[in-house]
Structures are given as C-alpha cells and as structure tokens.
Amino acid sequence: MKTIWQEMSQKINKWEDDPSIIIPFCYLLFAMLIFIVGNGAFASGLDLKQGIVCQTMNGDKTFILKNNSIAFDADESENERKISSISEVKTIRLGKSLTKLTKRLGLKYRVHIADISNPSIVDDFVSITSHDGHEITYPISCE
C-alpha cells in the first residue's frame, strides 16, 4: 500500500521526465490563486449582497448600495419618507475600490468607496452633477 507521499514523489519524478505535464498544473494553481485573492478583496468589510447603507454627514442624503441597484431616500414632499430604487446602475470595481454610477431625476450620481474593506469618510464620497454640469461632492459614511 502506497502512502500519499510516495504517490506524490512518483508524480514529481514523472514531471522531471516530461516537463509539459507541469504547465496545466501551473495554470490550475494560478487560477486558484486569482480566485482566492479576488474573493478576498471583497470578503471582509462591507457586503454588497446584504446592502451597504451610506449617508452624508448631516443625513440629508441616504442610500443603500446593492449588487445591481441603489435605493435612495426620495424627496420628503408629503412628510413621509419614501424609497426610490434604481436598477440601472453601472458598477466599477478597481482593486478594493467600488464606484456606482446612475441617473435620478435628471441628476447624475457617482458613489465612490475607495476601500470597501475599510470605509473612510475621508476617501468616500457621493458626487451629484446637474444637467448644466454643476457638480456637488459630499463626503459619506458607509456601514
């Protein structure tokens, strides 16, 4: 009966005889590494599946970020808080950062979280641009 170590040593000996066997193994190892690192970048910190609640400092603007949508607190025209959800959202992920772009009521919204694993009121913001091109940027805190 062979042990696992004996079987592995035999396979390694075959690799020395025929190095072309190593190439698929290296591709598999590289793919596993990319998968682990890629999932690890968003594994800790904020979770888009459950929703990320963000708001400006004075609580004027509050919204919830999810995988494919943003839910805004609607204007309080009747002294009631209403939620408007927008599913036409462009999501950009670069490294640990997350940016969501959408339009609502003629305004362009850009929500940016610089490091999703460590949200910071210094680096995270929402930028609102009017159809005239005027832009207002608010720092946001996200949980």
Range scoring the smallest mean pLDDT among 8-22, 59-73, 94-108: 8-22
Q: What is the pLDDT of residues 12-51, one digit of tens each?
A: 666 566 666 666 666 766 776 676 665 544 445 677 778 8
Does the pTM exceed 0.95?
no
- DSSP annotation of 143: -
Q: How far apart are CA 111 and CA 69, in angstroms?
A: 12
- pLDDT of 100 above 60: yes
Name the H helices within 1-143: 4-17, 22-43
Domain boundaries, the chain: 4-43, 52-142
